[in-house]
Amino acid sequence: MTKQQPQDSSVRLDKWLWAARFYKTRALARQMIQAGKVHYDNQRAKPSKTVQVGDLIKLRRGYEVLEVEVVAISDQRRGADKAQQLYQETPASVQQREQEAQARRLNSLYNPHPDSRPDKKQRRQLIRMKNQ
């Protein structure tokens, strides 16, 4: 016996983020919402907030800040191709993410990286230097 829901039904924000595959688990989606990493129509939201078509959701994933518009509603987690049909990223968000990614790439050229991991003696010297 499967649960059938109409397409225009309401779904909780944490469940929609999980179904749209922004977060791996619903509990993680709930934590991110409660931590203020997710904004619904430019306001902090609760996990129980109902999602409606046409609303804007702004969320953080690592370095990225995504702003997506809700295109469809689903409470079931499906494949990635189906999940991508639930939302559409705004053009401004895409442009901003690309600029930030480019800045991170350019900045990484100025951050020196050692060729290998420090050995035991070098680690002790680093610890000694940090503790002084």
**CATH of residue 66:** 3.10.290.10
Task: Answer yes or no: is 125 within a domain.
Answer: no
> What integer pLDDT is reported at residue 125 of this predicted model?
95
Task: Answer yes or no: is 4 within a domain.
Answer: no
Q: What angle do CA 37, 81, 59 make, to 5 degrees?
A: 10
Task: Answer yes or no: is 69 within a domain.
Answer: yes
Task: Answer yes or no: is 2 within a domain.
Answer: no
pLDDT tens digits for 30-83? 999 999 999 999 999 999 999 999 999 999 988 889 999 999 999 999 999 999
> What integer pLDDT is reported at residue 4 of this predicted model?
46
By CB neighbour count within 10 A (0-12 exposed, 13-18 middle, 19+ buried), where does 11 fall? Answer: buried
> What integer pLDDT is reported at residue 7 of this predicted model?
53
Task: Answer yes or no: is 1 within a domain.
Answer: no
Per-residue pLDDT band at 1 (split at 50, 70, 90):
very low
Task: Answer yes or no: is 124 within a domain.
Answer: no
Supply the range of the domain harboring residue 63.
Answer: 11-108
Task: Answer yes or no: is 118 within a domain.
Answer: no
Give kind and range of the element (H or E) at residue 59: strand 56-61
Task: Answer yes or no: is 72 within a domain.
Answer: yes
- Stretch 12-17: mean pLDDT: 95
pLDDT tens digits for 68-124? 999 999 999 999 999 999 999 999 999 999 999 999 888 877 777 788 899 999 999
**Does residue 2 have a pLDDT over 70?**
no
Q: Domain count of the chain?
A: 1
